[in-house]
Amino acid sequence: MPNNNHHNFKTTRNNQKSPTPSEAPQTPINNESKDILTPKPAYPSDKRPNYHAPQPAEAPVKNTAGKKTTLTANKQPSKSHKPWYKKPLFWIITVIVIIITLIGSFLIFQSRQDSESNPPAPKPDLTSNTLKKKKPNQENIKKASKASVSRSVNKSTNKNNSENQRNFKNPGSYSDMKYETDDFKIEIDNSSDGVKLISDTNSQPALYIRYTFTNNSKSDLKPADIVNQDIQLKQNEQILNTDGNINDDSTDDKNRLDTAQQPVTPGQSAQVAMMYQVNNTKDQISMFFMNLKTKQPLSTTQPFKL
């Protein structure tokens, strides 16, 4: 019996529709046939899952030459990190610290030297805003006197040094009873009253000599000081000492001795005298005259026969 539910279709070219050019032919999907057609891969021996991290995408980057290069998107160019002791800033700071240390040490050392060379002055001991009065000490007085004596000796030494360095035209000469230098002139009176033996206050014999003193220097000179410094009398190689104590005070001889103790102004002359103690009244006495530059006696002497 014929089945009414089935219809017979004839396939003709008219009944088939050609696909339009814009539509692609569709392939029927059969889920059941997919498993059959696609071969299954071999089952892995290691049953643990194997996960792979996704690789970062590479982006094209243009270099300076205009060529494309690929860099990893998440990858940054690595910078070279130097150790701290190789950085220039570390050495600059180190040098500055060393310089500051050296300068500070020098200043401290210099201040210590200054404090040692110039010790601070001792503070005065004050009592009720007034200085304590100290009684003079005998030892301090003696020290002061010794210091004054040493200063006077130094002055005389300096004077002698200055005279040695001075350029003398005539440091000393003697002839015909005249002793002359650039500073003074002494003329001896060779008469019987000019050179004679007299008695001093102790009734001891003494040689009395009159002379004329002339000051040729630019300052006052005392005749007695010049005679004691630049003239020597010797008897038997012994230096005789001066004696100003004459026995008769009323005579002209005493006045001349006193005048010798008075200063004579520059360019002036004075009638004076000198007096020496003698050892005996028999032996000859010789007078020596000094060279002001060399401080040595001249070769010429003046003898006195008693």
Give the class (CATH, top level) of 177-291. mainly beta
* Contact by Cβ (8 Å): 235, 218: no
User: pLDDT band for position 229 (50/70/90)?
Assistant: very high
Of all helices (H) and strands (E), which one includes residue 211?
strand 205-215
Helix (H, G, I), strand (E, B) or coil at 252: helix
pLDDT of residue 131: 45
**Burial environment of residue 291 by CB neighbours within 10 A (0 to 12, 13 to 18, 19 or more):** middle
Least confident of 91-105, 142-156, 161-175, 238-252: 142-156
Question: Radius of gyration (Cα) for the chain, nearest Å?
Answer: 67
CB 216 within 8 A of CB 170: no
Q: Using the predicted structure, report yes or no on whether residue 58 has a pLDDT greater than 60.
A: no
Lowest mean pLDDT among 42-51, 57-66, 280-289: 57-66
What pLDDT is stored for residue 252 in this prediction? 87
Distances (CA, A) of 261 to 112, 222, 244, 256: 58, 6, 10, 9
CA distance 206 to 196: 8
Better-scored residue on pLDDT, 292 or 7: 292
Looking at the predicted structure, is the pLDDT value of residue 1 above 50?
A: no
Lowest mean pLDDT across 11-20, 140-149, 181-190, 201-210: 11-20
Q: What percent of the chain has pLDDT over 70?
A: 57
